[in-house]
Amino acid sequence: MSRFGPDPLAFFEAVYRDPAPWDIGGPQPEMTELLEEYSPQGPVLDLGCGSGDLAIHLAANGLETLGIDFVEEAIAQARSKRATLASDIAARLEFCVADALQPSRLKRTFGAVVDSGFYHLFDSEQCTRFVDELASVLRPGGRCYLHEFAVTFPVPNVPRQITEAELREEFAAEKDWRILTIRSGEFLSRVAPVPAIVACIEYVGTNGAKPF
């Protein structure tokens, strides 16, 4: 069973009936700092994009960006924000309802994937399959940006702790990944900041991905 009960979609739909705790009115600052330090190539895929602030930030910085989330209300909120943007930014931005655990189903490839609080929702077996999915949609030299909880709270229905050791194992050199940085940080929320881990990892393989 998922960390969020037998029906994770119903769980997240219920969360979006009120302002979501992760909806801080903008992208996570440490994710935007990471993107400044290790610049992404477009097009960018934002996995579990929520109400769209990170995708909007990327499009405002000139990158073609697709945000996906499985909650229709989250995508509706993201599209409402898109409707208020300058037309050149909005033209670079797309949001759709889709399963972010299976981005290969989009039948598209990307220069970068951003994951702000998505990976940590899943148990390690699911994450292993998810990392293979990431490789299949990233172009050679494409980068993956992660910002996840570094703690597990002793309550149900919360993300799990992601460690540097786990990321080094999942994104191993033998699986064609090259770690550019992994460091500690904070994940801001409407409740309180949470200790976090931040990483930028490059896909150096060609398996399943089309070259630029």
Q: Name which of 72 and 88 has its Cβ closer to ligand SAM.
A: 72
Smallest gap, in angstroms, from Cβ of residue 48 to ligand SAM?
3
Smallest gap, in angstroms, from Cβ of residue 198 to ligand SAM?
13
How remote is the C-alpha of 151 from its chain's centroid? Answer: 18
As a residue count, the chain comes to: 212
Q: 87 forms bridges with which residues in the sheet?
A: none
N- to C-terminal Cα separation, the chain: 38
Smallest gap, in angstroms, from Cβ of residue 140 to ligand SAM?
25
Angle (CA) 6 15 80, round 5°:
125
Smallest gap, in angstroms, from Cβ of residue 204 to ligand SAM?
26
Smallest gap, in angstroms, from Cβ of residue 69 to ligand SAM?
4
Q: Which residue has the closest beta carbon to ligand SAM?
A: 48
Fill in the amino acid letter for 136: S
User: Which residues of this protein are in contact with ligand SAM, per CB under 6 A?
Assistant: 8, 12, 22-23, 28, 48-50, 54, 69-71, 74, 99-101, 116-118, 121
Q: Name which of 69 and 170 has its Cβ closer to ligand SAM.
A: 69
> Which of 34, 49, 54, 52 minimizes the C-alpha distance to 185?
34
Q: How many CA atoms lie within 13 A of 66 on its CB side?
A: 19
Q: Name which of 30 and 69 has its Cβ closer to ligand SAM.
A: 69
Q: Name which of 189 and 204 has its Cβ closer to ligand SAM.
A: 189
- Report the distance separating Cα 91 and Cα 211, nearest Å: 25
